[in-house]
Amino acid sequence: MSNFQYRGENLTCENLEIDSITRDLETPFYCYSSKKIRENINKYKNNLKNSNSKICFALKANSNLELIKLIAQQGLGADVVSMGEFRKALKAGISGKDIVFSGVGKTEKEIEFAIKNHCFQINAESLSEIKKINGIAQNLNIKQNIGIRINPDVKPDTHSKITTGSIENKFGIPISEVKNLFNQSNLFENLNFNGLAFHIGSQIMKLEPFEEACKITNQLVKEIENNDFKIKTIDVGGGIGIDDDEEFQFENYFNLIDLYFAKKDRMIIFEPGRTIIGNTALLISKILYIKETEDKIFVVIDAGMNDFMRPALYGAVHDILPILKSSSIEKKTIEIVGPICETSDKFLTSDNFQNVNEGDFIAISNAGAYGSSMSSNYNIRPNIAEVLVNDNKFSIIRKRQSLEDLINQ
């Protein structure tokens, strides 16, 4: 959060007081720091041990076109899971040769689009999908690279709804079936079996689950290569979490990847999402009402779960900061809630929040990932604006959706 700091009583983004944005723009809105995005990308680049690596930003985390353009300008590729994300990546200036297409439910149209647009690698998640990709590639007379996404049966310490590498999850092919797939690879004449891919979950703060997945995958690589197959790519996915109170062991993580997979003629693919964009944004909201009960004070803000779903969906905890800081602390428990007709539309419960008033502004932290990309029009509420700060200026990178357009659809 180093690019979001108080200067005196004012919360700033880089060198711009956020309060000044609220004078020009209706709340709620997302506020991103361009400097922080570049810093996060450089953190990845500086930790890479293997020069033969490809960093593919996961568009599911944030699909704002201007942000993807900024990320593309830093030399990153894209990890996509739909034709929409693929097309957005292309529009942002990312070549198909720098795009990895993942996901369990790719349609024929999506596969055809990916192949026609020179997709670097399609990560396949079942034998049926492999057959489908081969058939489409055959019709197009193109040989397509694929990665085999494995399910290493690793259970990371994260929310159950965002674990993706356990055997009860829908993702990947069981380890026991993968060697046989490579043995049958000659049956798929229009496919290059490029390598292996895994992704064990999201918002993971501990190194141990990644190490377990690496050990399992490394053993599989050895067994496959002992049968005269060459593993040219290892896609290690994403999943690294962010937490203001806990620092992820980045250097140890990259040492781990290097230890298990580095090879002169092998490419390692990374698919970061949250670690690139998560801590680069605040969700700015206005306090509409203060409602005091016997036990607590409800602070009703104009941002709702339709704007930022993670707290309601996953119970995710995000710090909330007042735009104007005060030393006066409210004695009662404060519950900061949104206007949506759901009890789960709640952002924070605190016993030491400062005194606030109706009309004040607050900022929900670490809102850059899975915020706008998961937003909806629930309760017929327009999608909110997004702004990008560069030093002491801001630009609107997504306009607030018109209510007229929304109600006429």
Distance CA 227, CA 230 (A): 9
SS3 letters across 158-182: CCHHHECCCCCCCCCEEHHHHHHHH
Q: Say which of 56, 119, 214, 341 is annotated catalytic.
A: 341
CA distances to 97, 104, 151, 332 from 101, in Å: 11, 10, 17, 50
Q: How many of the other CB atoms lie within 10 Å of CB of 319?
A: 14
β-sheet bridge partners, residue 57: 78
Encode burial over 390-408: b for 16+ CB neighbours within 10 A, e otherwise: beeebeebbebeeeeeeee
Q: Which two tokens stand for residue 87?
A: 């097309």
Q: Which helix (H) or strand (E) holds 405?
A: helix 403-407
Residue with token string 């496959």: 224
Give long-range contacts, CB 8 A cutoff, 24+ apart: 308-311.
Answer: 308/283, 308/347, 308/364, 308/367, 308/371, 308/375, 309/370, 309/371, 309/374, 309/375, 309/376, 310/370, 310/371, 310/374, 311/346, 311/347, 311/348
Q: In degrees rounded to 5, what are phi and psi of residue 257?
A: -60, -45
Q: In degrees rounded to 5, what are phi and psi of residue 73?
A: -65, -20
Q: Is 341 a catalytic residue?
A: yes
Cβ-contact 154, 237 below 8 angstroms: no
Catalytic residue set: 341
